[in-house]
């Protein structure tokens, strides 16, 4: 499946200000989100599959891919489009063997050193998530903020598509895009907004004008 990393929404029930995952994601899509990840580390597998199926019902008709955070079992059970793996999850080459050639595989990389340690995985992945750009309270163990310099340093090491992540608000979209990455990923800038559609629209406009 082709995918567009431009505005990557990472969403889960606890992150949604309205408490309603589906309506938040629907609003974000109207605002211009191009790809969605279901991320809810506290949820059990059964709940994740249910949420994934509900999201797929609105995303698939619009051609927007659904990526599942960490859980390849959930991605396969729900027939989602891909999986996003962290440095502690199963190796990307293992996920590729399980998920097959069409599964979209993403990998989190927090520094040039972590990129170097991921060499074995790089042939198996379709894109990298690089960050955190700024300090974020959304993810407890997100690691040190790496800023535009850190994202640019990883960018320089690979031709894989990259999405910058971590503490990104509308005002940071342009500096992140100018590091040469394909897109920006956000949780709270959209899920925590009082108007997720408007928040997504502003981010999408910032990204478009930074290119």
13: tokens are 């029930």
The C-alpha angle 167, 45, 199, rounded to 5 degrees, equals 30
Q: Which of residues 37-76 bind ligand TZP (CB under 6 A)?
A: none
Select from 29, 168, 181, 200 the one that contacts ligand TZP (CB under 6 A). 168
d(CA 90, CA 137): 25
Which of Mg ion, ligand TZP, none binds 70 (CB below 5-8 Å, type-dependent)?
Mg ion
If one asks whether residue 121 binds Mg ion (CB under 5 A), the answer comes out as: no
Binding segment for ligand TZP (CB under 6 A), chosen from 23-31, 43-51, 59-67, 184-192, is 184-192
Binding segment for ligand TZP (CB under 6 A), chosen from 54-62, 73-81, 187-195, 203-211, is 187-195
If one asks whether residue 86 binds Mg ion (CB under 5 A), the answer comes out as: yes
62 is catalytic: no
| Chain centre distance of CA 60 | 17
If one asks whether residue 130 binds ligand TZP (CB under 6 A), the answer comes out as: no
209 is catalytic: no
Please report where in the chains the tokens 């990298």 appear, as a residue. 128
For residues 79 and 117, which CB has a smaller minimum distance to ligand TZP in the complex?
Answer: 117
6: tokens are 């431009």
Q: Has 137 been labeled as part of a binding site? A: yes
If one asks whether residue 5 binds ligand TZP (CB under 6 A), the answer comes out as: no
If one asks whether residue 70 binds Mg ion (CB under 5 A), the answer comes out as: yes
194 is catalytic: no
Residues that bind Mg ion (CB under 5 A): 70, 86
Q: Which residues are catalytic?
A: 39, 108, 139
Annotated binding site for Mg(2+): 70, 89
């Amino acid at each position: 499946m082709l995918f567009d990393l431009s505005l990557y929404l990472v969403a889960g029930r606890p992150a949604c200000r309205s408490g309603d995952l589906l309506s938040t994601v629907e609003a974000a899509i109207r605002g211009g989100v191009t790809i969605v990840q279901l991320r809810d580390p506290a949820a059990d597998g059964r709940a994740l599959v249910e949420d994934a199926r509900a999201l797929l019902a609105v995303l698939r008709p619009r051609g927007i891919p659904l990526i599942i955070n960490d859980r390849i079992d959930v991605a396969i059970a729900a027939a989602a489009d891909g999986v996003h793996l962290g440095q502690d999850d199963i190796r990307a080459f293992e996920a590729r063997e399980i998920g097959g050639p069409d599964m979209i595989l993403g990998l989190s990389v927090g520094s040039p050193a972590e990129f170097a340690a991921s060499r074995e995985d790089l042939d198996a992945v379709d894109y990298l998530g690089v960050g955190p750009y700024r300090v974020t309270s959304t993810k407890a163990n997100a690691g040190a903020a790496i800023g535009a310099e850190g994202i640019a340093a990883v960018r320089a090491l690979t031709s894989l598509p990259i999405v910058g992540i971590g503490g990104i608000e509308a005002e940071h979209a342009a500096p992140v895009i100018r590091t040469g990455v394909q897109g920006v990923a956000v949780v709270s800038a959209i899920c925590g907004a009082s108007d997720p559609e408007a928040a997504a629209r502003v981010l999408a406009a910032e990204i478009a004008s930074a290119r």
